[in-house]
């Protein structure tokens, strides 16, 4: 059960209502609506980082799912597993990103650029201080500066959302749970 009850469309404060559209905005928005002044500044920034850009959808989902897995965010892992499949990742690649037993990144990803990105996401999510010299050099060799900035922002915004969703124990949508089962995935532990 969620630590904080989501605010319904009918209960939403005036500053939060634009984020509701015609109905349920999802648990992140519906809980942030408790503090509409923060919702009003946080969601546009988060949305800008997560929105389509020059970084491919598949590449973004690699960062989001891997970061969420390293942080053990059940909500984000479950919510982004179907999205990653829709972005073109194979079931084996998704299982490797999720850190499932018997599925490793080296076997699942033959593309060195994607392996480098996964190592970067791992270090951003679990490291203290700067990423290692080796991983940083690999990123600089594989990605342009603007890509490194955007991918790092993507990982760090994902970390923020991971901590938010995990700490508040946000519920995963029923349709997402059904999709996971249909695609042969267990819910994240």
**Predicted local confidence at residue 51, as pLDDT:** 95
CATH number of the domain at 57-182, please? 1.20.1290.10
| Confidence label for 40 from pLDDT (cuts 50, 70 and 90) | very high
Contact 58, 87 (CB under 8 A): yes
- pTM comes to 0.96
- Segments making up each domain of the chain, as ranges: 1-51, 57-182
**Could you tell me the two tokens for 157?**
């915004």
**Is a pLDDT exceeding 90 seen at residue 1?**
no
Residue in 61, 62, 97 with CA at minimum distance from that of residue 188: 97
Contact 152, 13 (CB under 8 A): no
Residues 6+ apart with CB under 8 A from 9: 17, 20, 23, 24
64-100 pLDDT, tens digit each: 999 999 999 999 999 999 999 999 999 999 999 999 9
**Predicted local confidence at residue 184, as pLDDT:** 96
Return the H-helix or E-strand segment holding 55.
none
**Is a pLDDT exceeding 90 seen at residue 22?**
no
117-139 pLDDT, tens digit each: 999 999 999 988 999 999 999 99
DSSP state of 24: -
Percentage of the chain exceeding pLDDT 70: 100
**Is a pLDDT exceeding 90 seen at residue 15?**
yes
Mean pLDDT, the chain, whole residue set: 96
């Amino acid at each position: 059960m969620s630590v904080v009850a989501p605010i319904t469309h009918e209960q939403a404060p005036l500053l939060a209502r634009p984020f509701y559209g015609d109905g349920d905005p999802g648990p992140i928005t519906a809980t942030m609506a408790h503090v509409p002044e923060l919702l009003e500044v946080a969601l546009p920034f988060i949305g800008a980082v997560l929105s389509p850009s020059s970084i491919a959808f598949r590449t973004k989902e690699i960062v989001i799912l891997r970061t969420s897995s390293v942080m053990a965010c059940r909500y984000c892992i479950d919510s982004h597993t179907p999205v990653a499949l829709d972005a073109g990742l194979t079931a084996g690649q998704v299982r490797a990103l999720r850190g499932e037993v018997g599925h490793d990144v080296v076997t699942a990803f033959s593309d060195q650029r994607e392996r480098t990105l996964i190592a970067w996401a791992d270090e951003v999510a679990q490291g203290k201080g700067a990423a290692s010299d080796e991983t940083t050099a690999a990123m600089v060799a594989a990605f342009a500066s603007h890509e490194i900035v955007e991918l790092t922002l993507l990982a760090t915004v994902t970390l923020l959302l991971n901590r938010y969703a995990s700490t508040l124990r946000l519920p995963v949508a029923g349709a997402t749970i059904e999709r996971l089962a249909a695609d042969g995935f267990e819910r994240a532990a």
